[in-house]
Amino acid sequence: MSKIILDNNIEELTQILTERYKVPSFRAGQLYKWLLAGVDICQMTDIPKDLRTKLDEDFVLNPVTISKKLTSKDGTIKFLFGLHDNNLIEGVLMNYKHGNTLCLSTQVGCKMGCVFCASGEGGFVRDLSAGEMLGQVITAGAKDISNLVLMGSGEPLDNYDNVVKFLRLVTDEKGLNMSRRNISVSTCGLPDKIKKLADEKIGVNLSLSLHATTDENRQKLMPIARTYSIAEVMKSAKYYFEVTGRRITIEYCLTKENTTMFDVKRLAELTKGLPSHINLIPLNGGTKSNIIACTKEQAQRFADRLITAKISNSIRRSLGTDIQGACGQLRAKFVGCKEGKNDLK
């Protein structure tokens, strides 16, 4: 059994409380309400003290705490979250017109090694459990969050079972009951897992990190492109759309190399017959790669050319650049990219 109590849904919690602690099932409802509100055990006043003591001994009740919180000039909040084993992960809370979006992490570190991304700089440490993902939402202030993006550190589909479990927990009507339409899973493109996720019928949005239009160029940016071709990845994205009916978001970092007229033509070919929107992402610096970012003018010209080619797109507003807003940057700063070193000053 998991030590992290939030890994359980209300039915599982009821079973634990009635079978293990021999208390009436209504206690599970009381406990779950407090846990989802992020309330400390000593404030769960309607639960008997001896039960609280036992739960506190047997479980991690509050798996995600705030180690550091930085607020950007634009209102973006970057969290450095601490886990029960002293690992650190990041979350970013962004304020948009339509509400607050939390960008959360799915792994400590990452195996994928995309050259522009800081998440994997210290290597891969471990997967997060479903309850640790839910804990990020709770600790960041669930009641004020309307949208979730699984775009923090880690590759969600490389931690498939826990991510699916989390998606079910967070959309559970007896839990936080968040709308599946307001949740996006971002992936570097693992075709089999994309198809499997489609078949789960959860109905969340899929964001595909494409970043290049030829296998050769994609391989320079993303090691995973050596395993799966763009053709295979796009085929799985088409399958995702066919099964879920959800329009696919394609994420595309803007570099000098991948924003030519040829790329416009290729993007038109690749997205033909696939309802999609391209999110153009200004490259966020701070990593050690030698890729050259586009200027603002080049980015705008590329966006205009895509529009002329009738390809729906938008340039993503960069938020939180003054607080190491992009994936892994804040954690990389604090852990010195070394696993286990957790010295916050």
- Residues annotated catalytic, as ranges: 90, 327
Distance CA 4, CA 61 (A): 6
Radius of gyration of the chain from its Cα atoms, rounded to whole angstroms: 21
> What's the closest the beta carbon of residue 128 comes to ligand SAH, in angstroms?
13
Contact pattern from residue 251 through residue 280 relative to ligand SAH, giving x for each residue in contact according to CB under 6 A and a dash for the rest: x-x---------------------------
3-state secondary structure of 48: coil
Query: Residue 54, Cβ neighbours under 10 Å: how many?
Result: 14
Residue 313, exposed/middle/buried by CB under 10 A (0-12, 13-18, 19+)?
buried
Span from 5-13, 33-41, 267-275, 282-290 in contact with ligand SAH (CB under 6 A):
282-290
Distance CA 170, CA 146 (A): 12
By C-alpha distance, which of 45, 309, 12, 246 is closest to 131?
A: 12
Binding-site member from 186, 213, 217, 276 for ligand SAH (CB under 6 A): 186
> What's the closest the beta carbon of residue 288 comes to ligand SAH, in angstroms?
11
By C-alpha distance, which of 344, 345, 339 is closest to 87?
A: 339
Give the helix/strand (H/E) hosting 150: strand 145-150
60 vs 117 by CB, closer to ligand SAH? 117
Residue 36 backbone phi and psi in degrees, to 5: -70, -25
> What's the closest the beta carbon of residue 80 comes to ligand SAH, in angstroms?
17
14 vs 136 by CB, closer to ligand SAH? 136
Binding-site member from 55, 225, 327, 330 for ligand SAH (CB under 6 A): 327
132 vs 251 by CB, closer to ligand SAH? 251
Told to check if 302 binds ligand SAH by CB under 6 A, we report: no
3-state secondary structure of 256: coil
8 vs 287 by CB, closer to ligand SAH? 287
Binding-site member from 151, 278, 303, 306 for ligand SAH (CB under 6 A): 151
Told to check if 117 binds ligand SAH by CB under 6 A, we report: yes
- Give me the torsion for CA of 238, 199, 248, 210, rounded to 10°: -70
Binding-site member from 114, 125, 225, 332 for ligand SAH (CB under 6 A): 114
Angle at 62 between CA 322 and CA 335, to 5 degrees: 40
> What's the closest the beta carbon of residue 59 comes to ligand SAH, in angstroms?
29
Helices 191-199, 160-171: inter-axial angle, 10-degree rounding? 30
Distance CA 63, CA 107 (A): 14
162 vs 209 by CB, closer to ligand SAH? 209
Binding-site member from 137, 281, 299, 335 for ligand SAH (CB under 6 A): 281
32 vs 116 by CB, closer to ligand SAH? 116
Q: How many residues bind ligand SAH (CB under 6 A)?
A: 18
Told to check if 121 binds ligand SAH by CB under 6 A, we report: no
Please list the alpha-helical segments (H only) found in the chain. Answer: 10-15, 26-37, 49-58, 130-141, 160-171, 191-199, 215-221, 230-244, 261-270, 296-308, 329-335
Chain positions contacting ligand SAH, by CB under 6 A: 112, 114, 116-117, 151, 155, 186-188, 209, 251, 253, 281, 283-284, 287, 326-327
